Amino acid sequence: MKLATRANGTADGELVAISEDGERCLPVGSRWPNLLAAIEDWPNAEAECRAAAERLASGAGDAIDPTDMRAPLPRSWQWLDGSAFDTHARLMQVAFDTKPIAHDKPLMYQGMSDRFYGPLEEVPFVTQANGIDFEGEFGVIVDTVPMGTSAEDAMAHIKLIVQINDWSLRALAVPEMNTGFGWVQAKPACSMAPFCVTPDELGDAWQDGRVCLDLLIDRNGERVGAANGREMSVGFHELVAHAAATRELVAGTIIGSGTVANEAYAKVGSSCISERRAIEMIEEGAPQTPFLQFGEHIRMSAITSDGTMPFGVIEQKVVQA
């Protein structure tokens, strides 16, 4: 099942079900005006969402206007981003000239959750000097997760899967990390692809808490990355359990995978500019690829083996605030 949020003049938008081909939509109903309301009572909301999906399968619904699509959750209570790809971690140590982080638990930080950009919105930044970078990743949306939930039990709390661009300002990252207090300025609002999907929608591409799809990323029309989500060092269920170790997770919490990266980066490319720069440092002695400038375009789409895009497409322009 695919769901999305359509603009309707409210902060949280209108919850709509999406046809399998991603071309038509149908409002779920006034009882569930938005996705945040639905995820808070998912056992009841899911049944009505699936009923709307069945009506779509019978030919009901209206054609989607892509410009009306917002992030599936335009805002939520909590955004927790992991760093679950070891290849990305190693390359970032090169990029930032930092030492490996000694840890025996998944890495995770709490980011900005009061706004997520829609898939076609222009994304504003104050200055190019801050090192504007994209980060392609996947994420999950959970219902209420009790404190102390195990990784095994956490799988059942993963209700929806999303595709994310976690924008980053690289020139601000290391100074903020060195304070020991975490990121604020270096991590602005993220973007989401238009559709969120239930795990069953992905079929065999959802394995052991991992989204096993290639994430295609283009910069100004040129392919820069096609890494697959299968190489997470820990699955999403383990990230959920880590986040819930000492606190309950409110329904609507979004948890990210961190930047998708593969060991075969020489073949599949990178999901962020900083990785590309680190590879150039390793191979050529110095970074060559510049960070984003105003006016550049980024396109991201996860793709299945038969060429379909279950999450739709993020296609955005970087602009000056």
Q: pLDDT band for position 262 (50/70/90)?
A: very high
Whose structure tokens read 């609507």?
A: 252
Q: What pLDDT shows up at residue 100?
A: 66
Residues 196 and 306 in one domain: yes
Q: What pLDDT shows up at residue 96?
A: 63
Tokens for 43, please give them: 């056992």
Asked whether the beta carbons of 132 and 291 are under 8 A apart, the reply is yes
The answer, yes or no, to whether residue 282 has pLDDT greater than 90, is: no
Residues 289 and 222 in one domain: yes
Residues 42 and 132 in one domain: no
> CATH no. for residue 130?
3.90.850.10
Residues 310 and 237 in one domain: yes
Whose structure tokens read 């999303």?
A: 162
Asked whether the beta carbons of 123 and 317 are under 8 A apart, the reply is yes
Instruction: Identify the domain boundary among 36, 68, 100.
Output: 68
Q: What pLDDT shows up at residue 104?
A: 78
CA–CA dist 40, 260 (Å, integer): 29
pLDDT, one tens digit per residue, over 68-126 is 999 999 999 999 999 999 887 787 777 666 676 666 789 899 999 999 999 999 999 99
Whose structure tokens read 């504007």?
A: 132
Instruction: Identify the domain boundary among 68, 84, 106.
Output: 68
Q: Per residue in 188-204, is it b (16+ CB within 10 Å) or e — as a string? A: bbbbbbbbbbbbebbee
Instruction: Identify the domain boundary among 68, 88, 122.
Output: 68
CA–CA dist 152, 119 (Å, integer): 32
Q: Give the other-Cβ count within 10 Å of 3's Cβ.
A: 28
Residues 58 and 103 in one domain: no
The answer for residues whose C-beta is within 8 angstroms of residue 17's C-beta and 6 or more apart is 1, 2, 3, 25, 26, 27, 28, 49, 52, 53, 55, 56, 61
The mean pLDDT of 35-41, rounded to a whole number, is 97
Residues 40 and 137 in one domain: no
pLDDT, one tens digit per residue, over 209-251 is 999 999 999 999 999 999 999 999 999 999 999 999 999 999 9
Tokens for 268, please give them: 């599949």
Residues 254 and 272 in one domain: yes
What pTM was computed for the model?
0.96
Residues 279 and 177 in one domain: yes
Strand order across the beta sheet in which 314-320 lies: 123-125, 314-320, 297-303, 214-219, 222-228
Residues 148 and 212 in one domain: yes
Query: Which one, of 81, 310, 59, 48, lies nearest residue 173 by Cα?
Result: 81
Report the domain count for the chain: 2
Q: Tell me the residue type at 216.
A: L
The answer, yes or no, to whether residue 49 has pLDDT greater than 90, is: yes
| Strands 123-125 and 314-320, bridge-based pairing | parallel
Q: What pLDDT shows up at residue 101?
A: 65
Whose structure tokens read 């680190």?
A: 278
Structural domain span for residue 60: 2-68
Residues 13 and 153 in one domain: no
| Alpha carbon distances (Å) from 100 to 80, 144, 268 | 21, 33, 24
Q: What pLDDT shows up at residue 95?
A: 60
Q: Tell me the residue type at 171.
A: A
pLDDT averaged over every residue in the chain: 95
Residues 260 and 154 in one domain: yes
Residues 133 and 211 in one domain: yes
pLDDT, one tens digit per residue, over 301-311 is 999 999 999 99
Q: What pLDDT shows up at residue 98?
A: 67
The answer, yes or no, to whether residue 57 has pLDDT greater than 90, is: yes
The answer for residues whose C-beta is within 8 angstroms of residue 3's C-beta and 6 or more apart is 15, 16, 17, 18, 28, 35, 49, 72, 160, 195, 196, 197
